[in-house]
Structure 1
Amino acid sequence: MQRPTIFCHMTMALNGKIVGNYHQAAGAAVAGQTFYHAAFEPGGAFDPNEGWLSGRTTTDDNFTFYEQPDLDLNAAPVPAGDYIVPGTHPKYYFAIDPHGRLAWHHHQLQYNDTTATVVEVLTNQASNAYKDFLRRQHISYVIAGENQLDAPLALDKLTRSFHLKRIMLGGGGVLNWSFIKQGLCDEVSIVLIPGADGQADAPALFQPLATDDQQQLVNFKLISATPIEDTVWLRYAVL
């Protein structure tokens, strides 16, 4: 298997949550600037990198907003296998979308000052109509897994197709833990937002599934802890 160096880079509340209104805390702006500069701006700690990878819920929350894709249920059968649009791009957004549900309107997205080209990661559960939809949008996709994501296969295909050397893993918590537990992540970078809220059901940085091994332990080694006003930026190597 080929794969790039992968760093999980997230903002997080002091109580370990990655979603919630703690983003309105007084020090959240500084934390957000620290997070964005490290991974997305020239001269940041993780520059250069080829882009970032996130799950379906994170993608819907931030980019596709739970709309329904414009499917042609009568579309002619598309060719089997992956679909790679020719060309190279400075940044990619890799969306883990096993069943094919995300409603893109364009093959690129905008995140602050960063323009990224969308690439979908599907399983064989994605319908012909959805793959036809992606092709009509000129969105590349790879198929990795029968009923659920085969992450090593996905990374191997993405690395070979898009010449990846380093990418960011950007949530949600289930996806983060899935990569961590499989040994597919090299570093965890956490920018602590100096706030917390009382949302009891918000996902944590790592969110195991009920079917996961409850006894699995992953160790980390501190690389650095950098205070920036009221926030702290923590970097850990995954052992």
Structure 2
Amino acid sequence: MIKRPHVICLMMTSVDGKILSEKWGNNKQVKTLAESFEKVHEIIGNKNWIVGRTTMEKDFTHYAKPVYKEVDHTISREDFVANRNADSFAVVIDGQAKLGWNSSDMLGQHVIAVLTESVKDSYLAHLQEIGLSYIFAGKNSVDLKVILEKLTALFGIETLMIEGGGHLNGSFLNEGLIDEYNQLILPLADGRLETTSVFEIEEKDRKFDATLLQLLEVKQIEHEVVWLRYKVLDHV
């Protein structure tokens, strides 16, 4: 049996299941509510997390442009493990190499970029130069199962947190790769039709009608935030 991490999805939502908190404004009370996410992340205690390119560039790299280091040779499409022994890892799925990096460290965690084999040699050369690890998960598109298998085999990751957005969460759910779901429901409503929800799966890609969950725990925490914890059971 191929080993992969235990995958926990942690999301913070409005009561109507919307997740894009920047649309909720800069109100002091809203900011206080949003702080619940990091607090619960710390309570859960797992430090290894994965996000998609959109979340990473919006919240962490702040739309930095890719950096290229010209090389006069072809770089083989082999996984590059710069630091297997880091205390924790920040993993980002960036199949087409659109993120810009100037460091291999993200909030004290070692970065692992998930790429496809179609990326440029000059992009890989820069990542190697700054010591940022990368793995390949497909030729032109990424295979989520391959990602998880490599994270365990190459970096020893046993537990991984998925933290949005909706498309990434939906992709993992669609492949049956989420083991536990934690939702923080903030006491506010969004109401926008266009705001992203927790899980979003294109109908053409859908592999099931619904996912069954088992409720493990319900807590009311600070500021009237409700914390729901579920075990993912099966698809129907």
Give the TM-score of the pair, scaled to structure 1: 0.88
Deviations 1:89-129 (A, max 9, x none): 1111000011111101211112xxxx211110111222222
| CA distance in 1 between partners of 2:80 and 2:90 (Å) | 16
Aligned to 1:95: 92
Aligned to 1:70: 67
The 8 Å contact of residues 27 and 231 in structure 1, kept in 2 or not, is answered as no
| CA distance in 2 between partners of 1:27 and 1:14 (Å) | 16
| CA distance in 2 between partners of 1:213 and 1:59 (Å) | 25
Aligned CA RMSD, in angstroms, stands at 2.0
- Structure 2: where are the runs of 5+ without partners? none
- Structure 1: where are the runs of 5+ without partners? none
The 8 Å contact of residues 14 and 189 in structure 2, kept in 1 or not, is answered as yes
Letter in 2 for 1:119: I
1:170 counterpart = 2:163: yes
Q: Percent identity?
A: 29
After TM superposition, give the deviation of residue 24 of structure 1 in Å. Answer: 4.4
| CA distance in 2 between partners of 1:141 and 1:12 (Å) | 31
Shift of the 139–60 alpha-carbon distance from structure 1 to 2, 3 Å rule, reads same
Q: Pick from 35, 39, 52: which aligns with 2:37?
A: 35
The 8 Å contact of residues 169 and 199 in structure 2, kept in 1 or not, is answered as yes
After TM superposition, give the deviation of residue 142 of structure 1 in Å. Answer: 0.5
Aligned to 2:227: 233
After TM superposition, give the deviation of residue 73 of structure 1 in Å. Answer: 4.9
Q: 1:12-161 alignment to 2 at 5 Å? A: 12-20=13-21, 21-22=23-24, 24=26, 28-29=30-31, 31-40=33-42, 44=43, 46-47=44-45, 49-74=46-71, 76-110=73-107, 115-161=108-154
| CA distance in 1 between partners of 2:180 and 2:17 (Å) | 17
Question: Is the deviation greater in 126-135 or in 17-26?
Answer: 17-26
| CA distance in 1 between partners of 2:19 and 2:49 (Å) | 17
Letter in 1 for 2:53: R
Number of residue equivalences: 230
After TM superposition, give the deviation of residue 202 of structure 1 in Å. Answer: 2.0
The 8 Å contact of residues 50 and 92 in structure 2, kept in 1 or not, is answered as yes
